[in-house]
Amino acid sequence: MGERRFLSGDEAFAEGVRLARPQVISAYPITPQTVVVERLSEMVESGSLTAEYIHVESEHSALAAAIGAAATGARTFTATSSQGLLYMAECLTYASGGRFPIVMMNANRATCLPWNIYGDQRDSLSLLDHGWIQAYAKDAQEALDMALIAYAVAEDARIMTPVMVNLDGFALTHTYETVDIPTSEEADAFLPPYQTSNRFDFENPTNMAFSAGPAYNRYFKQSEHIDMLRTSEVLADVEKRFADIVGRQWPGMIETWGCDDAEVILVVLGSVAGLACEVAEHLRQQGRAVGVVRIRYLRPMPAAEIVAALSGAQAIGVLEKDISFGAEGTVFTNVSSALFNAGLCLPAVNFIGGLGGDDITEDQMRHVFDQLFSCAQGNKHDSVEFFNIETPSRSEVNEALKGVPSCH
C-alpha cells in the first residue's frame, strides 16, 4: 500500500514522474506548468530522484535537450504550456519522427492574443498532427497514474512514440485532492529501466536524424501512422499490468457513463467530465436518458470506440474548450469524421465553452442536454454554439475599444 497525500494536479504529476525515474529532466517554467518542474527540482536536490536536471533558456531548448538525451538512450521528461508548447512546435516533429519516447506534460492554457494565463485546450489541440500520442487527464489521480503509464506506452517496442499528457490549467493543475501514490517497488515492477537500440552507440554505429527524399519519406510517415494506431492495443496491455501491480484499473482510450440506453450523449475532454457526469446523474434521477463519453486519448483517434459508444443515441453533442477559427471545434471535427466514416448520421451540436478559463456552469451543462433533446426531436439548432456570448450594444463596443490603437 502506497502513501495517500493531498496534492494539486501539478504535484501529483510530479510524483508520477518521480516514480518513473527519468534520467534527464529539461525544464523551463511557464504558468500553470511551473509547479511540476519546481517539485521535480526539489526531488533532485533532496536526492529522492536521481536525474540530470537541466534548466534551459527556452521551451524550444527544453524539448531539444530532451531529444538529445533520448538519442543517448536516456529516459527523459519535460513540461510546458500554451505559448511554450507552440514555441516547441518545430521540435515536436523531430521527437516523433526520430521515434524518441519522450513524455511531456502540457498544462492546457489559452493562446494569445489577447494574453491570458487561464485554461482552455487550444494549445494542444492545434498540434494534434505533430506525431505525438495525446492524453487528457480528468483529475489528479489520473494525472499521477498517466505519468507512469505514459512511459510504458511510449517505450513499448510496438510504438516507440512520444506522449503528451494534458492537464487543464488551474482547473486541474492548481486544485487539490487526495491521491494514492504507488510505492517505489510497485512502480519499478510496473516500469523497468528503459532499454532501446534507437540510440547513439559507438560500438554499433547507427544512422539517426537523417534526410529522406520523395522516394522514401512516405515509408517513414506511414510507419509512424501505423505504429501510433497500435496505441489502443498497447494501452490495454499496459493498463491491465498497472491494475495487476498497483490495483487501479483505467478504462482505455475513452470512458463512458450511461451510454448503453442514452437518448442523447455528450462528448467531453479533460476535467469538465466531472461536471458533465454530475449533471447527467441528476438528469437520470429525473428520468431523462443521458450519457457522457470522455475521450482520454485523442491521438490516436479512438474512432471505433467512439462510434460504438454513440451509435445508439438520437442526438450527440461535443463540448470543448477550443475553436478552429472559421470552422468548428477540433474535437467536433474528429468525432464527426468518425461517425461519417462509420455511416452514422446523427444530429450533432458543437458547444464551445471555457475559452480563456471562462467557467462552465451547471446551468450551462443542463442547457447542453436540453439542446440535445431538442435536436433529437427534430428541431434545428446552430451546429456551433458559444457559451456566455451576448450581442453587445454599439456603445458597449465603443467603450471596450477606448484606448485601443487604431490600425489606420
Q: What is the pLDDT of residues 147-162, one digit of tens each?
A: 999 999 999 999 999 9
For residue 330, count other CB atoms closer than 10 A to its CB: 22
What pLDDT is attached to residue 407? 40
Fold of domain 254-386 = Rossmann fold (3.40.50)
395: which 3 cell numbers?
456603445
What pLDDT is attached to residue 408? 37
- Residue 57 has φ and ψ, to the nearest 5°, of -95, -5
Distance between CA atoms of residues 77 and 318, nearest Å: 32
C-alpha to C-alpha distances, 241 to 234, 246, 248, 263, 393, nearest whole angstrom: 11, 8, 10, 35, 58
270-281 confidence digits (pLDDT tens): 999 999 999 999
Domain covering 3-246 in this structure, CATH number: 3.40.50.970
Q: Grid cell 505533430 — which residue?
A: 130
Task: Tell which residue, 97, 104, 110, 12, has the closest CA to residue 59.
Answer: 104
Whether residue 169 is predicted with pLDDT greater than 90 in this model: the reply is yes
SS3 call for 307: helix
Q: How many residues does the chain have?
A: 408
165: which 3 cell numbers?
499528457
* Residue 206 CB burial class (10 angstroms; 0-12, 13-18, ≥19): exposed
With contact defined as beta carbons under 8 Å apart, do 392 and 359 qualify? no
Whether residue 404 is predicted with pLDDT greater than 60 in this model: the reply is no
Q: Please report, for the chain, the start and end positions of each structural domain, with discontinuous segments joined by +.
A: 3-246, 254-386
Whether residue 405 is predicted with pLDDT greater than 80 in this model: the reply is no
* Residue 372 CB burial class (10 angstroms; 0-12, 13-18, ≥19): buried
What pLDDT is attached to residue 206? 86
Average pLDDT score over residue span 30-50? 98
Beta strands in 169-278 (DSSP E): 176-181, 254-257, 264-269
Are 3-246 and 254-386 in the same CATH fold? Answer: yes
67-110 confidence digits (pLDDT tens): 999 999 999 999 999 999 999 999 999 999 999 999 999 999 99
108: which 3 cell numbers?
492546457
What pLDDT is attached to residue 49? 98
